[in-house]
A = this chain, B = another copy of it.
Amino acid sequence: MGSFKGHALPGSFFLVAGIWWTGKHSLWHATRRNKNIGSTRLASRASQRRLEVIENSVVLFFSLVGMLAEQFAAGGPRLQLYDFTEKHWQYLMNWQHATMYFFFGLAATVSLVLQTTEAAPLALDRLMLAVAFFNEGFLFFYHLHGRSMLDVHMHQLLLFAVFGQALVAFLEVFHRGNVLLELLRCTLTLLQGSWFWQIGFVLYPPRGPEWDLTDHNNMMFVTMCYSWHLAFAMLVVSTLYCTVSW
């Protein structure tokens, strides 16, 4: 995954997820507010549930594809974890990424079960989401040993978004349906997505010169850049929210 594509791909996924969630939560908030207008087609419980089922099936599908790709794509471990001849672990990166996908797949599976049966409180889906994000941040946190300064810094900045998502999702367990928390989560998802792209551009520039990964000036620029990404994510979310509300 140490490539431009390896960062652009999850980035795109989180961007799409962020936009989708923003649209979904804006729509539901709007229909909740003016029951009399939009309730005919969109606000009905059944269609909401169908939407959730579709969303989680897609997430489950992509996390399965991601796991398979990490395992069986060119240069993958093909389910081998330990090299017995040289006596060391191999392909640990691929296994870690597959583990991350697995937790998102798990969250989607649980959400599917919750939507189709009534086995457990609905808020469980947010708890599973919080666990998935926490797990992603946890693995990233211990991922960074021995890399160059700028590389470490950019991934650390990513952790603000990831742990922020985990925290907001956990708060949603207790404040379900709070549209502000939902939109904050969407914003952080978009931030994570666009920052993955940024990491790709800085660490593996597809064209143009390499960045100096030890220059402190670059680090300060990158920090500011993160604020801009946050502002951009907030802009996208508010534009979408206003469009849907109208």
A residues with a Cβ closer than 8 A to B are 81, 88-89, 92, 95-96, 99, 102-103, 106, 110, 119-121, 123-124, 127, 131, 135, 138-139, 142-143, 145-146, 160, 173-175, 179-180, 184, 215-221, 223-224, 226-228, 230-231, 234, 238, 241-242, 245
A-B contact pairs, 7 of them (CB 8 A): A88-B217, A96-B223, A102-B231, A103-B227, A119-B245, A120-B180, A174-B175
Query: Would you call B180 and A219 a contact (CB within 8 A)?
Result: no
Query: Would you call A131 and B234 a contact (CB within 8 A)?
Result: yes
- On whether A218 and B89 interact (CB within 8 A), knowing A95-B224, A231-B102, the answer reads yes
Q: How many copies does the complex hold?
A: 4
Residue of B nearest to A118 (CB): B33
A241 to B121, CA, bound (A): 12
- On whether A124 and B217 interact (CB within 8 A), knowing A99-B224, A224-B92, the answer reads no
Known pairs A103-B231, A119-B241, A143-B220; list 4 more (Cβ under 8 Å). Answer: A89-B217, A103-B227, A145-B220, A174-B175
Interface residues of A, dominant DSSP: helix
A15 to B110, CA, bound (A): 23
Residue of B nearest to A215 (CB): B88
A87 to B119, CA, bound (A): 60
Query: Would you call A223 and B146 a contact (CB within 8 A)?
Result: no
**A108 CB to nearest chain B CB (Å):** 14
